[in-house]
Chain A
């Protein structure tokens, strides 16, 4: 399935001068450990490393105000979180090539109910009962980057 995201190992984007790391959860912080270290090692007078852990949406938006065209972003956490941050970064005009995502912690999927538009997180099964409309859903492999969730359709 083409839409199913593939998460490549994080690599330090050496074309950027500043690096911002966004993480939610202990596993995510651990997942970023090596790359934060690499970024700090590459520190020059011009470059800077910022780490934001489990911040709220408003804190992240404020932090983005201070960033300029030379920044690369690394986001780690559960699937729903990383795609939410991805959407915020894209809305702020960050280039797709400057965003790296890492799945960390709970690997359960988020499911978007195509019948009522509800997104339920942490779904571990291939079938799921929508918590809002009660429809029994089959979780398809079709992933929506916009919603950061897999499509759930009536079984």
Chain B
């Protein structure tokens, strides 16, 4: 995030959506209008408890038409796998508290010339989809929503309103989303937007390819991937700062550097936007992003938000902005 562009916001409302999901409504701390955004945008929220600092990216879930406030939904992580930011937001943030946010950025926009939109969400992946849905309803576009969930559901909002374009699949009731059925026989000009775990995105692309779809009509956004369970700790050295930083198994390289006081511009924090790229000087990177080309990786670039070290140590340099 560019520190100069940071906005101060106040939490004006907190709503419990489900046992593990809370919705926060944020308004400008000085009562001004917030920057306009397009559906699918996210903001980066900066907060801390005095000892630790977090920067987490959250999708804006409201209708992009409203600028008096932003809404985000936060799923509470579990203590072993989470970095603790979402737990802090759930337990320590109250109405009236101030937070810092980045202006909205969008790496998951709607295709402007699509004739029909199919929205597919798994779990908390519903968040960017909610703003797409609000927008598509407002402009009377053709759409379908397929939403598979467990205990983290936004379903109450859907059950209040009759809409036969909306299909809900409650895994706790044994209901399953059949992607082949959802994608078969769709008219020319249909675009698909899928947000959820990696497995849902892969399954959507596989089903689409088998049905003869062009894959450039399948748009996806993966959750900010927490370091997967097989992640190992490693050490990172930044010679120009004279710094050696330990990156824990459950921590990203980006957040480890931030904790050590090294500020790197970042935006999506999920391996999609390329803002946090750094240069590998020694050692080799294990790339987990969806942004860099093979050529760029070959030149020694890596994304600090999701990629890690192959082995125990990595020497990197920051790129001059």
Stretch at the interface among A68-76, A77-85, A109-117: A68-76
Interface bits A91-135 vs B (CB < 8 Å: 1, else 0): 011111110000000000000000000000000000000000000
Task: Judge whether A93 and B188 touch: CB under 8 Å.
Answer: yes
Distance A93 CA – B114 CA, assembled complex (angstroms): 6
Q: Is B47 an interface residue (CB 8 A)?
A: no
Q: Which of under 10, 10 to 19, 20 to 34, or 35 or more describes the interface residues of A? A: 10 to 19
Known: A69-B190, A71-B188. A93 touches B211 (CB 8 A): no
Known contacts A92-B188, A92-B189, A93-B189: A15-B114 contact under CB 8 Å: no
In the complex, chain A residues whose CB is within 8 Å of the CB of B113: 90, 93
Give chain A residues whose Cβ lies under 8 Å from the Cβ of B186: 68-69
Distance A95 CA – B214 CA, assembled complex (angstroms): 7
Please tell me if the beta carbons of A69 and B209 are within 8 angstroms of each other in the complex: no
How far apart are A71's CB and chain B's nearest CB, in angstroms?
A: 7
Q: Say if the beta carbon of B216 comes within 8 Å of chain A.
A: yes
On whether the beta carbons of B115 and A69 are closer than 8 Å, the reply is: no
Is A17 close to B, CB under 8 A?
yes
Residue of B nearest to A96 (CB): B216
Q: Is A86 located at the chain interface by the 8 A CB criterion?
A: no
State whether the Cβ of B161 lies closer than 8 Å to any Cβ in chain A: no
> Cβ of B211 and Cβ of A69 under 8 Å apart?
yes
Most buried by A among B186, B188, B213: B188
CA distance A41 to B183 in the complex (A): 26
Q: B interface, by DSSP: helix, strand, loop or mixed?
A: loop
Q: Is the CB of A94 within 8 A of B212?
A: no
Contacts of B209 in A (CB 8 A): 15
Nearest CB on A from B128, distance (A): 22
Shortest distance from the beta carbon of A137 to any chain B beta carbon, whole Å: 32
Complex: how many Å from CA A77 to CA B217?
Answer: 28
* Given A15-B209, A69-B211, A92-B115, A97:B188 Cβ within 8 A: no
A51 within 8 Å of B (CB atoms): no
> CB-CB < 8 A to B216: which residues of A?
95-97
A92: chain B residues within 8 A (beta carbon): 115, 188-189
Q: Once bound together, how far apart are the Cα atoms of A17 and B211, in whole Å?
A: 7
Residue in chain A with minimal CB distance to B191: A93
Residues of B with C-beta under 8 A to A93: 113-115, 187-190
* CB proximity to A under 8 Å, residues B193-251: 209, 211-217
Residue of A nearest to B186 (CB): A69
Q: Smallest CB–CB gap between A118 and chain B, Å?
A: 27
Instruction: Report the Cα distance A147→B186, complex, angstroms.
Output: 29
- Assess whether A70 is in contact with B189, with CB atoms less than 8 Å apart: no
A34 within 8 A of B: no
Contact B188–A67 (Cβ < 8 Å): yes
Interface membership of A64, Cβ < 8 A = yes
Let me know if B4 is at the binding interface, CB within 8 A.
no
CB–CB B214/A98 < 8 A? yes
The distance from the CB of B12 to the nearest CB of chain A, in whole angstroms, is 40
Chain B proximity of A63: nearest CB distance (Å): 11
Residues of A within 8 A of B214 (CB): 15-16, 69, 95, 97-98
Q: For the complex, give the distance between the alpha carbons of A20 and B249 in Å.
A: 53
A70 is contacted by which of B114, B115, B212 (Cβ under 8 Å)? B212
Q: Does B185 contact A (CB under 8 A)?
A: yes
How far apart are the CA atoms of A97 and B217 in the complex, in Å?
10
Nearest-Cβ distance from residue B217 to partner chain A, whole angstroms: 6
Q: Which residue of B lies closest to A46 (CB)?
A: B212
**Known interface pairs A92-B188, A93-B188; A70-B211 also in contact (CB < 8 Å):** yes
A68 in contact with B187 given A15-B212, A17-B212 (CB within 8 Å)? yes
Question: What chain B residues lie within 8 Å of A46 (beta carbons)?
Answer: 212
Instruction: Flag B168-194 by CB within 8 Å of A: 1 or 0 each.
Output: 000000000000000101111110000
Which listed residue (B187, B211, B217) contacts A95, Cβ 8 A?
B217
CA distance A79 to B236 in the complex (A): 57
The chain A residues found within 8 Å of chain B, CB to CB, are 15-18, 46, 64, 67-71, 90, 92-98
Interface CB pairs A-B, < 8 A, 21: A15-B212, A15-B214, A18-B212, A64-B188, A68-B186, A68-B188, A69-B186, A69-B213, A69-B214, A70-B212, A70-B213, A71-B188, A71-B212, A90-B113, A93-B113, A93-B187, A93-B188, A93-B189, A94-B189, A95-B214, A97-B214
Interface positions of B (Cβ within 8 A of A): 113-115, 183, 185-190, 209, 211-217
List the 4 closest A-B pairs by CB distance, nearest first. A93-B189, A70-B212, A17-B212, A95-B214
